[in-house]
Structure 1
Amino acid sequence: MKCRLVDVFANQKFHGNGLTIFYDFEPLNEQEMLMLTQEMRQFESIFLSGSPGGWSARIFTMEEELEFAGHPLLGLAYHLHQLHGSATESQEWQIDLNGREVTLSSRWEDDGAFRASMSQGKPVHLKTLSYDEAAGFYEALSLSPEAGVPYPAEVITTGLPYLILPVNGHLDAIKFNVPDLSSLLASYGAKFIYVLDTGTFEGRTWDNAGKVEDIATGSAAGPAAVYLFRQGLMQRNPLTIFQGRFCGRPSEIEVLLEFDSSTISNVDVSGNVVDVADIRFNS
Structure 2
Amino acid sequence: MKCKLVDVFTKQKMSGNGLTIFYDYDVLSQNKMLSLTQEMRQFESIFVSEVLSKSSVRAKIFTVEEELDFAGHPIIGLAGHLHEESGDVNPRTWQIVLNKKSVKVKTKKSGDYFYASMAQGKPEFISILSENDKHAVLRALNLTSENLADYPLEVISTGLPYLIVPIISGIEKARILLPNFEDLLANFGAKFVYIIDIGNFEGRTWDNLGAVEDIATGSAAGPTAAYLTKHQLASVNKPIIISQGRFLGRDSEIEAYVEAKDNVITNIWISGDVAKVANIDFV
Establish whether residue 95 from structure 1 lines up as the match of residue 100 from structure 2: no
**Mind listing any 5+ residue stretches in structure 2 that lack a counterpart?**
none
The one-letter code of the counterpart of 1:32 is: K
1:24-39 equivalent positions in 2, closer than 5 A: 24=24, 27-39=27-39
The one-letter code of the counterpart of 1:258 is: E
Could you tell which deviates more after superposition, 242-251 or 168-177?
Answer: 168-177
CA RMSD after TM alignment: 1.4
Contact 1:131 1:152 in 2 (8 A): no
Contact 1:78 1:273 in 2 (8 A): yes
Deviation sequence 1:175-224 (CA, Å, 0-9, x none): 33211310000000000000110111000000111110000000001111
Alpha-carbon distance in 1 for matches of 2:281, 2:213: 28
1:4-15 equivalent positions in 2, closer than 5 A: 4-15=4-15
Classify the secondary structure of the residue corresponding to 1:173. coil
Establish whether residue 242 from structure 1 lines up as the match of residue 248 from structure 2: no
Alpha-carbon distance in 2 for matches of 1:268, 1:73: 13
| Residue matched to 1:205 | 205
The one-letter code of the counterpart of 2:77 is: G
1:130-279 equivalent positions in 2, closer than 5 A: 130-235=130-235, 237-279=238-280
| Residue matched to 1:65 | 67
Alpha-carbon distance in 1 for matches of 2:223, 2:29: 31
Contact 2:204 2:213 in 1 (8 A): yes
Alpha-carbon distance in 2 for matches of 1:135, 1:99: 34
Structure 1 counterpart of 2:86, from 61, 84, 87: 84
**Mind listing any 5+ residue stretches in structure 1 that lack a counterpart?**
none
Establish whether residue 19 from structure 1 lines up as the match of residue 22 from structure 2: no
Judging changes above 3 Å, is the alpha-carbon distance between structure 1 residues 129 and 82 closer, same or farther for their aligned structure 2 residues?
same
Deviation sequence 1:7-48 (CA, Å, 0-9, x none): 000121111000000024661111111011111111100001
Q: CA deviation at 1:99?
A: 3.2
The one-letter code of the counterpart of 2:83 is: H
The one-letter code of the counterpart of 2:276 is: D
Classify the secondary structure of the residue corresponding to 2:172. helix
Judging changes above 3 Å, is the alpha-carbon distance between structure 1 residues 133 and 191 closer, same or farther for their aligned structure 2 residues?
same
Aligned length: 280
Classify the secondary structure of the residue corresponding to 2:146. helix
Judging changes above 3 Å, is the alpha-carbon distance between structure 1 residues 175 and 49 closer, same or farther for their aligned structure 2 residues?
closer
Contact 2:113 2:276 in 1 (8 A): no
Runs of 4+ in 1 over 3 A off after TM superposition: none
- TM-score, L = length of structure 1: 0.95
Contact 1:238 1:255 in 2 (8 A): yes
Classify the secondary structure of the residue corresponding to 2:48. strand
Alpha-carbon distance in 2 for matches of 1:57, 1:200: 34
Q: CA deviation at 1:149?
A: 3.3
Judging changes above 3 Å, is the alpha-carbon distance between structure 1 residues 70 and 260 closer, same or farther for their aligned structure 2 residues?
same
Contact 2:195 2:205 in 1 (8 A): yes
Could you tell which deviates more after superposition, 238-247 or 138-147?
Answer: 138-147
Q: CA deviation at 1:95?
A: 1.4
Contact 1:206 1:214 in 2 (8 A): yes
Classify the secondary structure of the residue corresponding to 1:219. helix
Contact 2:25 2:47 in 1 (8 A): no
Classify the secondary structure of the residue corresponding to 1:146. coil
The one-letter code of the counterpart of 1:245 is: R
Contact 2:9 2:17 in 1 (8 A): yes
Contact 2:141 2:177 in 1 (8 A): yes
| Residue matched to 2:118 | 118
